[in-house]
A and B are shown apart, each in its own frame.
Chain A
Amino acid sequence: MEFPIIFWSVVLWMIFWGIVGSIGSRKAYLRKDLDTSNAGYLGAMIGAATGPFGLIALWIKTPKASKGLMIAPPIAAFILLAISFAFADPTNHCVSNGSFVASQISNGIILGILYGFMALGLTLIYSILGVVSFAHGDFYMIGGMAAYYVTVVWFPGINPLVGIGFACISTFALGALFERVFLTPMYDGRIERPVEYGILVTFGLAFTLQYFIAATVGSNPVKAKRYFDFPRIRWPSKEDPWLLKTSRGNMELFDTISISNPRFTAAVVCVMVLLMMIYFLNRTWTGKALRAVSLDRDAAAIAGINPNRMNMLAFALGGMLAALAGALLVQAFSWLPQVGAIPAMRSFVIVVLGGLGSLPGAFVGGIIVGLVESAGTGCVPNPQRAASYIPAYGGIVLLLTLLLRPTGLFGRRFSGGAHGKFG
C-alpha cells in the first residue's frame, strides 16, 4: 500500500462515528419515545457513511426505519471505503486491473452460492427445531466421503449421480436417526434448557463423526475424480481431428474470467436444487407444513400437522443439503475428516447475517460472504497474509451483524416455532 495513512484514517473515522452513532441514536430515539430496535443499526451505518453531518440530521429528525434508509447507508459506507482504498493503493490489482476484479467477483459469487447452499440446511434446521446444529460441517464431510467411496473405492467408474444419491440418502437416514434418538427429549419439556442441550448434543455428534471418519478412513487426504468435463468446440486440425472434444480445464469467459470446473458444476447444481427446494417449500403439502411449523408450532399441530415428524424431516433434510454440497465439492478439494470445520464456520456467519431461520437470507448472506471473502483475498496487498486472514473476514461479519442487527438481514423479529417457545 502506498499511502496507508489515507485508508486507515478513513477506517478509523468510520469506526469512531459508527460507535458514536450507534450509542447516540439509541438515546435520541429513546428520548422521543420511539421504537429503538433499529436505532443502533441506523446510527452506526449513517455515522460510518456520512460522519457527524448525517448523524445530526438523524438525531434531529429521528425518522422511521424505512427500507431505503436501512439499505442506502451501508452501501454508501462501502463505496466510501472502496474509494479510500483506491486512493490509498492506486497500483493494486483490485483498482487498476478490471479483468482481475471481474474474475474475483465471479469467483466470489460462485463461492457464495456454495456457502449459501450449506447455510440453507442450517437455517432450515434452525427455523424448525430452534437448534444451531454444530454437526453441520460434519454432514458436509460425510457427504463428500460417501460420494468418494462410491465413485472411487467401491465402484470405480460408476455414474457420479449414484455417488451423490448415496451421499444424500445415507446422510438423510443418519440425520433422521440422530434426531429420533437424541433430539426428541427437547420437544416435550423433559429438558430444562433445550437450546443449550441442542448445541451440546450436536457438538458431541460433530466430535464423534469427525473422529469416527478419522479412525475408519484415516487422516490422509482423498479426492474424487471430476464428475463432468466441459465440452469444447474447436476447428479440427491434424493432431486433433475431433470436432467436439471434452476438456478438463477451467471455463474461460472472454479471456478474463476463469472458473474452475468442479466449482461451476457444483454451483449450477446448487442453484437447481435451490429452485427445487423453493418449489417444495411453497407448493407441496409437506413443504407448507414445514413452513407452518416454523411459524407457529401449536397452530400447526391444531391444523393436523405432526410437528415432531416435521422436526425429523427438517433435521434430516438440513443434513442432506450439507452432504449434497460436500458430495459436489469432493471433486474440487482434498477431503479430510476435518474438512467440515471451515464451511461450518462460514454457515454460522451466513445464517446470522441472513437472519437465523430465514431461507432467502441464507442465500443472499452466502453471496455477500463469498464476495467479502474474495475481495479480502484479492485486494489485501500481501497475498500470504490475506489468505491466512480468511477466517477473520467471516468472523468480523458475524460479530458486526450480532452487534448491530442480531435479527440479520431477513430475520423475523417475533419468531414463532421452537425457538420462539424455548428462547
Chain B
Amino acid sequence: MTKQQTPLIMGIVIILFFAVFPFVYTGTNYPYVMHIIIAGFYYAILTSSWSMLSGYGGQFSFGHMGFTGIGAYTTALFCHYIYLSPEATNICTEFSIGSQYLVFVNPIGITSSTLVQDCLREALTIWDGSVQVTPMPVWLGIILGIAMGGLFGLLIGLLVLPLRAAYLALFTLGFTEILRAVISSELAITRGQAGLELPMLFENGINLFGKHYDKTDKIPPYFVMFFLLLICLGILYWLAQSKFGLFIRALREDQDAAAALGVNTTKYKIMLFVITSMMAAAAGAFFAHYIGIISPNNLMILQMSLVVSMAVIAGIENIFAAAIGAIIIEFTLEMLRSSFDIPIIGIEVDMTIWRLVVFGALLMITLRLSRNGIIAPIITYFSRGHVAEETVAKRKTSNANEESA
C-alpha cells in the first residue's frame, strides 16, 4: 500500500462500514441513529452537488434548497392529488386510460376532514368499499420530481447566464424566496405551513432477501439514500474527472478567458445547473418520501446555510470531502443536542443552541485559516503529497545532469 492509495482504501472502508452498519449496530437508540445517518446521507448529496456547483464551477447559488423543494413538492402534489380508479367517480375531473380512470382530486386546503371532503373521498363514501382506488406509484412521482428539478435548473441556468458572483447569489436567493412565499401562500393546494403529507417510500412494506420490512423500518430507506448518494458521487466524480470538470473549472477561474480559448461557456454553465439541481431534487424527493411530510420550512435560508457551512468546513473543492464532512457534521450536531452544567459557575449550558454558535464560528475560522476546508487538505496530502517530492527529486536530477554536462 502506497501513500497515495490511502484515500481510495479509506473510501472503500467507509463504504463497507456504512453498508454493514445497520446489521451490526444494536444500540437501544437504533432508530434514532439510523435516522441521523439517513439525514446525513441527504445532506451529503446536497453538499457534494453544491460543492460541484460552487466549488468546481464557481457559481455561488443560494437556490439549492429551492430545487430540493421543487423535487419534494412535485412528488408530494403528484401523490396527493392523482389516483387511479377502476370506475368513474362522476364528481372529479377524470380521464379514462384503458379500463382505468385517472382521477384528479380537487384541492380542499386545510379543513377538518369530517366537514369538507374532497371529491374522491365523497365517491369512496358513496361506493362504500365496493371499489378500490390505487394511489400513483411513488417512483413515478420521484422521477417527475427529478425531471421538474432539471427543468427549473435549466430555466435558472438560462436566466443567470449573464450574472456573476454577488448578483448570482442574490438572484438565486430571490428565486428561493419567491418559491417559498408561493408555497406557503397557496394554502388551498399546498396546505402552506401545515405541510403536505406524502406516502412512505415503501408504503406496503418490502421483502428483501426473504425478510419482510415494515414501512416504518429504517433499513430500506437507509439503503435507498445510501445508493442514491453513491450514484450521485459516482456521477459527480466522473464529471469532475472528465473534460466537463476541466471546462467548468476553467469557467470558475476566468469565464472570458475560457470562452476565448474555445470553451462553450453557455453550454457548460447550463449543464452544470441542470445536473446539480436534478441531484438536489432527487435528494429532496426521496427524503420527503422517507420523512412523510414536507413543509415550506424545508426551503428556509437556515437549511441552505447548513449545506453551505458543511461544504465549506469540509472542503468546497472536493466532492468526497464535502460528502464525508456533511455526514460527520450532521452526526456531531445531532449528538450535541444535550445540555450540561459548567461545574464552577453553576450555569446550565444548553448545547442545543450553543452547538450552532460553535458551528458558525468554526465556519468563519475555517474560511479564514484553511480555505480548502478541513477534510479536503487531508485527502490532498495523501493523494497528491508525493507530487511535490517527486518534482523536487526530478529537478535535482535534471540540475545534476546539467552540471555534469
A interface list, Cβ under 8 A from B: 126, 131-132, 181-182, 185, 191, 193, 195-197, 199-201, 203-212, 214-215, 341, 345, 348-349, 352, 356, 385, 388-392, 394-396, 398-399, 402-403, 406, 419, 423
Q: A203 vs B359: C-alpha distance in the bound complex, in angstroms?
A: 12
Judge whether B185 and A389 touch: CB under 8 Å: yes
Q: How far is the CA of A46 from the CA of B264 in the complex (A)?
A: 33
Q: Counting CB contacts under 8 A, is B360 at the interface?
A: yes
Q: Is the CB of A385 within 8 A of B185?
A: yes
Using C-beta atoms within 8 Å of the partner chain, give the interface range for chain B. Answer: 35 or more
A341 to chain B, nearest CB (A): 7
Compute how far the CA of A126 lies from the CA of B368 in the bound complex, rounded to whole angstroms: 20
Instruction: Let me know if B174 and A398 touch, CB within 8 A.
Output: yes
A199 touches B181 (CB 8 A): no
Q: Which residues of B contact A395 (CB under 8 A)?
A: 174-175, 177-178, 181
Nearest B residue to A130 via CB reads B166
Q: Does B34 belong to the interface (CB within 8 Å)?
A: no
**B356, A211: Cβ atoms closer than 8 Å:** yes
Of the candidates A214, A341, A348, which one forms a contact with B174 in the assembled complex, judged by CB atoms under 8 Å apart?
A: A348
Complex contact B165–A352 (CB within 8 A): no
A402 to B305, CA, bound (A): 23
Is A215's CB under 8 angstroms from B354's CB? yes
B170 at the interface (CB under 8 A from A): yes
Contact of B74 with A by CB under 8 A: no
Q: Interface-forming stretch among B15-23, B156-164, B278-286, B323-331?
A: B156-164
B353 touches A398 (CB 8 A): no
Interface pair A200/B163, CB less than 8 Å apart: no
* Inter-subunit contact A204/B364 (CB<8 Å): yes
Across the interface, do A390 and B353 meet the contact criterion of CB distance under 8 Å?
A: no
B167 touching A204, Cβ below 8 Å? no
| B192 within 8 A of partner (CB) | yes
Contacts A196-B54, A392-B177, A392-B182 hold; do A201 and B364 have CB atoms under 8 A apart?
yes
B58's partner among A193, A349, A392, A394 (CB-CB below 8 A) is A193
Q: A352 contacts which of B60, B170, B177, B192 (Cβ < 8 Å)? A: B170
Per-residue CB proximity of B329-372 to A under 8 Å, as 1/0?
00000000000000000000010011011011101100110010
Whether A349 and B174, one on each chain, are in contact in the complex, defined by CB atoms closer than 8 angstroms, is yes
Contact present for A208 and B357 (CB under 8 Å): yes
In the complex, the answer to whether B364 meets A199 with C-beta atoms within 8 Å is: no
Indicate if the CB atoms of B181 and A201 lie closer than 8 Å. no
Q: Nearest CB to that of B306 among chain A residues?
A: A207
Question: When A181-B368, A398-B170 are in contact, do A204 and B360 touch as well, CB less than 8 Å?
Answer: yes
Q: List which B284-312 residues lie within 8 A (CB) of chain A.
A: 301, 305, 308-309, 312
Instruction: Check if A402 sits within 8 Å of B171, measured CB to CB.
Output: yes
B360 → chain A closest CB, angstroms: 3
Residues in B neighbouring A349, C-beta threshold 8 A:
174
Contact of A196 among B58, B185, B357 (CB under 8 A): B58
Query: B173 at interface (Cβ–Cβ under 8 A)?
Result: yes
**Which residues on B sit within 8 Å (CB–CB) of A352?**
167, 170
Q: Is the CB of B166 within 8 A of A211?
A: no
In the bound assembly, the distance between CA atoms of A210 and B178 in angstroms comes to 23
Would you call B166 and A199 a contact (CB within 8 A)?
yes
A145 to B102 alpha-carbon distance, docked (Å): 56
